[in-house]
C-alpha cells in the first residue's frame, strides 16, 4: 500500500539561498546570550546581575515560552529602554527547520538545524486527548546500542539547554501557526542519552515544569535512559519526572550484547537505582523492551523478565523493533509479541505493546538519525564492517 509522504525542504535561515548538505555545516552562532538557555533561576540571576528586579524573569519566561515571542519589541510590559537593552545583548533563538515530514498516521518529524550546522530530529505524535513530543538530548549518541539507528550515526556533542528546550519552543510555535493544540507530553526518547547530558537536560526539564513556562506535570515529562546508575542517583535529588528504563533483555549476557553500557552498570544495579528513584510511593518505572525476533522474545525470556521485575514497581512497554537500513535484526511477529505480553500480564505486570508510529518517515523509536559529523568514527567503522571495506 502506498503511504502518503509529504517532504518539504525549508530555507528559513537568514542570509543564504540553499540549506547546506551533509558535511558542510555552516556556523551561524553569535556573541549574544541566548535566553532559551536559562531556566527561571538562571534568568533571575542574569537580570539581578544587570540591576533588574527578579520578577522580570517570570515576565520574560511567559513571553518566551507561553507566547512564543522571539522579538523583544513585542514585550509590552517592559519599558522601551529595557527592550532595547535586551535586544542589544540577548537573543531568543531556537533551531531552524531544515525539513518537515508528515506521516500517514498524523505524526510529524522535524529535522532541526542548530547554529553550528549540526542537525537533530524531533517527533510529534498526536493522539486523542494528548500530543507527545519526542525530543533529542544529544547530537547523536555515544552508547552504541546494537539495534538503534542513532547509534550507527555516532556521536558529536551534547545539546545545550537552549537546543533542548528549543525543540519544544519551536514545535509549539509551529503548531500554533497551524491552529493545532500545543504539546501536552514530552518524552526524552529521541537522539542521545539524556542522563549523559545531565545539567542541560535538568535545566530544560525545569522549564518544562515551570508554571511560567510550559507547566507540564511530572507525569507528562518522561526521561528515558539506558541506565546510567550514578546519574539515576542524582536524578532523584534534581527532579520527580517520570522515568523509563531501556531494559531489552532479562539477563546480563544478552543485555550487554544489546546495550553495551550494561557492562558498566549491570541489570541488578540499574533496577536498584530505578527502585530508589521511584521510592515507596505508587509510582512505577516504565520498562522499555524492544521485541527482536529470535533474540529476546521467547516465552522463557518473558518469564525471566517477570521474575526480574518483582524487585521494582514497573509497567512494561513492548516496542516492536523498527528496522533501518543494514540492520541484521527483525521485528518479532505479532503473535510472538502477544504471547510475551500475556506471560507478563499473567504475572501481574501491566504490559502494553507500543503502537508503531511514523515508521513511513523513519520517525519511529530508534530510527532517528539527524545529520552531523561523527566524532567517534563509528559510522566509518560500521560501513567497513558491512561492506568488508569495499565501499
Ligand atoms: N538513550 C535513551 C533514549 C533514546 S532511545 C534510552 O536508551 O532510553 C528511546 C527508546 O527507543 C529506547 O527504549 C530505545 O531502546 C528504543 N529503540 C532504539 N532503537 C530502536 C529500534 N530500532 N526499534 C524500536 N525501539 C528502539
Check residue 383 and give its pLDDT.
61
Mutate to test the pocket of ligand 1, among 327, 331, 365, 370 (most ligand atoms within 8 A of CB): 365
CB under 8 Å to 97, separation ≥6 — which residues?
10, 12, 110, 111, 112, 113, 170, 174
Mean pLDDT of 165-189: 96
Whether ligand 1 lies within 6 angstroms of the CB of 148 is answered as yes
Specify the range with the lowest mean pLDDT, choosing from 39-43, 177-181, 220-224, 279-283. 279-283
Determine the distance separating the centroid of ligand 1 and the alpha carbon of 222, expressed in angstroms: 13
Determine the distance separating the centroid of ligand 1 and the alpha carbon of 289, expressed in angstroms: 9
Check residue 209 and give its pLDDT.
98
Helical spans, DSSP H, in the chain? 40-49, 55-61, 80-89, 149-153, 161-177, 198-209, 229-238, 252-258, 267-278, 299-308, 334-346, 378-387
CA–CA separation, 120 and 80 (whole Å):
37
pLDDT tens profile 81-99: 999 999 999 999 999 999 9
User: Any idea where the domains of the chain sit in the sequence?
Assistant: 2-16+32-91, 101-387
Q: For the domain covering 2-16+32-91, report its CATH number.
A: 1.10.150.530
Check residue 360 and give its pLDDT.
78
- Inform me whether the pLDDT recorded for 40 exceeds 80: yes
Q: What is the torsion angle, in degrees rounded to the nearest 10, for the CA atoms of residue 53, residue 58, residue 59 and residue 61? A: 130
- Inform me whether the pLDDT recorded for 8 exceeds 60: no
- Inform me whether the pLDDT recorded for 10 exceeds 60: no
Check residue 361 and give its pLDDT.
76
CA–CA separation, 98 and 111 (whole Å):
5
pLDDT tens profile 114-148: 999 999 999 999 999 999 999 999 999 999 999 99
Q: Which atom of ligand 1 is nearest to the CA of 288?
A: 13
Q: Catalytic positions, please?
A: 121, 365
Mean pLDDT of 354-373: 76
Check residue 50 and give its pLDDT.
92
CA–CA separation, 136 and 138 (whole Å):
6
Question: Residue 26: pLDDT band by 50, 70, 90 thresholds?
Answer: low
pLDDT tens profile 315-340: 999 999 999 888 999 999 999 999 99
pTM of the model: 0.90
CA–CA separation, 85 and 145 (whole Å):
47
- Inform me whether the pLDDT recorded for 249 exceeds 80: yes
> What is the phi/psi pair of residue 242, to 5°?
-70, 150
Q: Which atom of ligand 1 is nearest to the CA of 188?
A: 3
- Inform me whether the pLDDT recorded for 193 exceeds 80: yes
Whether ligand 1 lies within 6 angstroms of the CB of 239 is answered as no
> What is the phi/psi pair of residue 181, to 5°?
-65, 150
Whether ligand 1 lies within 6 angstroms of the CB of 224 is answered as yes
In words, the CATH class of domain 101-387 is: alpha beta
Question: Residue 382: pLDDT band by 50, 70, 90 thresholds?
Answer: low
Amino acid at each position: 500500500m502506498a503511504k502518503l509522504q509529504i517532504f518539504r525542504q525549508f530555507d528559513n535561515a537568514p542570509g543564504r539561498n540553499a540549506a547546506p548538505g551533509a558535511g558542510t555545516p555552516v556556523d551561524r552562532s553569535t556573541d549574544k546570550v541566548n535566553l532559551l538557555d536559562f531556566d527561571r533561576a538562571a534568568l533571575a540571576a542574569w537580570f539581578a546581575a544587570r540591576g533588574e528586579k527578579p520578577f522580570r524573569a517570570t515576565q520574560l519566561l511567559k513571553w518566551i515560552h507561553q507566547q512564543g515571542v522571539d522579538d523583544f519589541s513585542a514585550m509590552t510590559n517592559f519599558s522601551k529602554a529595557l527592550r532595547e537593552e535586551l535586544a542589544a545583548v540577548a537573543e531568543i533563538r531556537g533551531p531552524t527547520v531544515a525539513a518537515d515530514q508528515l506521516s500517514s498516521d498524523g505524526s510529524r518529524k522535524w529535522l532541526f538545524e542548530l547554529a553550528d550546522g549540526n542537525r537533530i530530529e524531533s517527533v510529534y505524535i498526536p493522539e486523542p486527548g494528548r500530543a507527545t513530543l519526542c525530543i533529542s538530548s544529544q547530537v547523536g549518541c555515544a552508547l552504541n546500542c546494537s539495534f538503534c539507528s542513532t547509534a550507527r550515526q555516532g556521536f558529536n556533542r551534547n545539546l545545550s539547554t537552549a537546543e533542548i528546550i528549543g525543540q519544544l519552543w519551536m514545535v509549539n510555535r509551529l503548531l500554533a501557526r497551524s491552529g493545532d493544540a500545543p504539546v501536552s507530553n514530552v518524552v526524552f526518547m529521541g537522539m542521545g542519552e539524556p542522563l549523559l547530558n545531565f545539567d542541560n537536560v535538568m535545566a530544560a526539564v525545569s522549564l518544562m515544569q515551570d508554571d511560567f513556562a510550559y507547566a507540564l506535570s511530572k507525569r507528562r515529562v518522561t526521561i528515558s535512559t539506558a541506565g546510567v546508575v550514578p546519574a539515576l542517583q542524582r536524578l532523584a535529588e534534581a527532579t520527580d519526572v517520570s522515568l523509563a528504563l531501556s531494559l531489552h533483555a532479562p539477563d546480563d549476557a544478552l543485555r550487554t550484547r544489546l546495550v553495551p553500557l550494561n557492562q558498566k552498570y549491570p541489570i541488578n544495579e540499574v533496577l536498584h537505582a530505578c527502585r530508589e528513584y521511584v521510592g515507596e510511593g505508587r509510582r512505577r518505572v516504565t520498562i522499555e523492551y524492544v521485541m527482536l525476533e529470535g533474540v529476546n522474545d521467547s516465552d522463557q525470556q518473558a518469564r525471566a523478565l517477570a521474575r526480574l521485575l518483582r524487585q521494582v514497581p514497573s509497567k512494561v512497554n513492548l516496542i516492536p523493533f523498527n528496522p533501518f537500513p543494514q540492520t541484521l535484526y527483525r521485528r518479532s511477529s505479532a503473535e510472538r509479541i502477544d504471547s510475551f505480553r500475556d506471560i507478563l500480564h499473567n504475572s501481574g505486570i501491566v504490559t502494553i505493546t507500543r503502537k508503531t508510529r511514523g515508521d513511513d518517515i523513519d520517525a519511529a523509536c530508534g530510527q532517528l538519525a539527524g545529520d552531523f559529523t561523527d566524532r567517534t568514527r563509528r559510522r566509518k567503522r560500521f560501513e567497513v564492517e558491512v561492506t568488508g571495506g569495499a565501499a
